[in-house]
A = this chain, B = another copy of it.
Amino acid sequence: MKIPKALTKVIESFQRLPGIGPKTAQRLGYYLLHVPQSQLTDFAQGLENLKKNTVLCSICKNVSETNPCDICEDRSRDTSSILVVEQPLDVVAIERTKSHKGLYHVLHGKISPLENIGPDEIFTRELFERLDGNNGETHSANLPAGKAGASRVKEIIIATNPTMEGEATAMYISRKVNETKKEIKVTRLGMGIPTGADVEYADENTLTQALQGRREMGK
């Protein structure tokens, strides 16, 4: 049985997305046949303009509408601390906590020798340039004082994922910073048992991390 070409095309597009298998793609394709044309056009325009109407902030490399982005532009943020993440979505997660008042740096990936991704394939150099104040050369002129104020950075918080690649990336950055900028403290996001979890079911690695990261309780 021939499925109409127009439908096959949409199904194939869905199937290229992560986490969407052939069955789900088919279901979504057929579902959209019942939807008003205006919703389809809206969806189509959104996709077409997605990359055209977004930029990477030249300072922190986060996805943004403006360059520099809102966070880098925000005078109330603490410019002495930069939190390093793998992906823009990690910034969203951390901003939701309202616990980080500093700036960000988005690597857009992690070091992964297996996938041929080295430090230069992700935005590590741009991070070091921020610390050198090199990045400020082109932009600091237009920015309020202290925005690109790279020399003032006192802490780098590394918040890459606690996976093999995330750890390797964290190690690489911390070694590089420790070598060249001794005055900057490098920290790593605390690891241990997540809120609501059971000690009983925690894996060995997590428990080891939790023990090593134990804290004295307030008296």
Name A residues whose Cβ lies closer than 8 Å to a Cβ of B.
1-7, 9-10, 12-13, 16-19, 24, 26-34, 37, 39-54, 63-65, 70-71, 87-89, 91-92, 95, 108
Contacts and interface: CB of A to CB of B under 8 A. Distances in A.
A24 B19 CA distance: 9
26 contacts: A1-B95, A5-B53, A5-B65, A6-B50, A6-B52, A7-B54, A7-B63, A9-B46, A10-B43, A10-B46, A10-B47, A13-B46, A17-B32, A18-B27, A26-B89, A30-B87, A33-B50, A33-B51, A34-B108, A40-B47, A40-B50, A40-B51, A41-B47, A41-B48, A43-B47, A44-B44
Contact of A63 (B17, B30, B64): B30
Given A18-B27, A33-B88, 4 more contacts: A6-B50, A13-B39, A13-B42, A47-B47
